[in-house]
Structure 1
């Protein structure tokens, strides 16, 4: 895959880093990459950032005909946005149609994140979408709201399926910088977006609240441009043993299911220590 130039693209949101700067990795050796965007942040390194960078590093070891169809990542330690992250890619297998990669993200000699990702050559077969996508208002007429911690991403808030949730579980989002015509880049930006928010915000906070992410999985079904609007929809599923689990979907304005994802987080008594105001 081709590389992303830092800061490239038409910036529709003004000055400052963009999601393309997030993906601007320096190749320091074969299958070894280093992040270049450094900034101060009072909170631990955003998990969606390191996951998107890990997926991009893995994709850089493949040809343009192989695109990610799934990833499974584990958040092992807190990272620091002011320090570079090293990504080491292991080429587990290259078959006739599928390629498997493992990536570890390291800061200060410690692994902060690990990922298994699978890539495939698109093949023939039926294209069916069984479940209907949510019916919501079009994004352009909706009020804006902030997606904290994300660079160059805009959001709009439609009517909520869980009105009492302390954070939206359904929203439109898109990159505010034009993205190159590289499906890997769009898959990485989708990954960057997929970790923001939580379906568990729909649950009462009287006794417990969602905390740091433990693991995250994404399945890429169909291509979607992330510099156009996509709808994030998250649904709480279960809480048990101090952990909470939710699922989500990302669909296009025409109702095409682009990706599905699932995440498990800590869910223990007390307020989330990483939430502003906690």
Structure 2
């Protein structure tokens, strides 16, 4: 099966998880999606928290930024409750704080800001020149060709196709270390969703790749034995509308790693060169002595 003929269902499962149950004016509940490591995927909770906040703002206002902290690992067997605080509604902007809660304790705390569509100054950094996605190997094809439980899981459940410009880190490290990488990402099936959910989907998807430049810089991969990787906090800014049905280029870098933490940054472009988002994430990355640097 090729990447143009995806297994049915993974994107629909993600969109269903973003369809929160409303418990009250400012309280919601969401389901969790299966994960190999037994913990709730951070991008899922981030996207759900954004959706919960969006449900409380005036119509016509879209998220333009969020700042969130991952506080505790989530339990896959427990639904997540989202409580929203209405911090401010101005003439053009709305601010909301969302707590994602399990067992009475927050697993994520996020503040997001929403804005009406308005005119203003316009500029953007140009997209880097890289090979197009049609010239690069597909993560979907890679996982379909590997007889391993993890590969089978990601082939069945991964909602996105990722195509690295540099060697991918799923099966081993890149022998040529670098603090930068570029990859293309697109949903495996067409996304029929409004712009609010498109922006939440981008928050969902990006948590999979934000820390890879740190791993690449130190000769690590997702298979590095004994490595411990976890998101600590995430910041994101949407500049223009996004469409996860189309290829998006992540141009990524890592300015620093220290103290068991590393910082990853990315600018995200549509295929026609529009800068649609900027994001940064700090993560915990711990490796056994002798692994990487």
TM-score normalized by the length of structure 1: 0.84
Compute the displacement of 1:260 (Å): 0.4
C-alpha contact (below 8 Å) 1:136/1:159 kept by paired residues: no
Tell me the equivalent position of 1:219: 237
Question: In the alignment, does 2:196 pair up with 1:202?
Answer: no
**Aligned partners of 1:50, 1:80: CA distance in 2, in Å?**
11
What secondary structure, in the 3-state scheme, does the structure 2 residue paired with 1:51 have?
A: helix
Q: Identify which range, 144-153 or 100-109, moves more after superposition.
A: 144-153
**Aligned partners of 2:101, 2:40: CA distance in 1, in Å?**
12
**Aligned partners of 1:165, 1:247: CA distance in 2, in Å?**
17
Tell me the equivalent position of 1:239: 257
Distance change in 2, residues 1:103/1:132 (3 Å)? same
Question: In the alignment, does 2:159 pair up with 1:152?
Answer: yes
Q: 1:87 aligns with which of 76, 82, 95?
A: 82
Compute the displacement of 1:237 (Å): 0.6
**Aligned partners of 1:38, 1:154: CA distance in 2, in Å?**
18
**Aligned partners of 1:252, 1:122: CA distance in 2, in Å?**
19
Compute the displacement of 1:166 (Å): 10
Tell me the equivalent position of 2:196: 184
Task: Give unmatched runs, 5+ long, in structure 1.
Answer: 1-10, 272-278
Tell me the equivalent position of 2:278: 260
C-alpha contact (below 8 Å) 1:38/1:82 kept by paired residues: no
C-alpha contact (below 8 Å) 1:200/1:210 kept by paired residues: no
What secondary structure, in the 3-state scheme, does the structure 1 residue paired with 2:64 have?
A: strand
C-alpha contact (below 8 Å) 1:66/1:120 kept by paired residues: yes
The structure whose residues are more often helix, as a share, is: 2
CA RMSD, 1 decimal = 2.8
Question: In the alignment, does 2:136 pair up with 1:142?
Answer: yes
What secondary structure, in the 3-state scheme, does the structure 2 residue paired with 1:238 have?
A: strand
Question: In the alignment, does 2:170 pair up with 1:172?
Answer: no
Q: Per-residue displacement from partner, 1:70-119 (whole Å, max 9, x unpaired)?
A: 00000000012332111111111100000000000011212100100000
C-alpha contact (below 8 Å) 1:231/1:251 kept by paired residues: yes
Question: In the alignment, does 2:66 pair up with 1:71?
Answer: yes
**Aligned partners of 1:247, 1:32: CA distance in 2, in Å?**
32
Tell me the equivalent position of 1:125: 120
Aligned length in residues: 259
What secondary structure, in the 3-state scheme, does the structure 2 residue paired with 1:191 have?
A: helix
**Aligned partners of 1:138, 1:249: CA distance in 2, in Å?**
16
TM-score normalized by the length of structure 2: 0.80
C-alpha contact (below 8 Å) 1:160/1:168 kept by paired residues: no
**Aligned partners of 1:104, 1:112: CA distance in 2, in Å?**
8
Task: Give unmatched runs, 5+ long, in structure 2.
Answer: 144-153, 169-173, 221-225
**Aligned partners of 1:167, 1:244: CA distance in 2, in Å?**
11
**Aligned partners of 1:242, 1:216: CA distance in 2, in Å?**
17
What secondary structure, in the 3-state scheme, does the structure 1 residue paired with 2:197 have?
A: helix
**Aligned partners of 1:136, 1:166: CA distance in 2, in Å?**
16
**Aligned partners of 2:55, 2:214: CA distance in 1, in Å?**
34
Tell me the equivalent position of 2:151: none
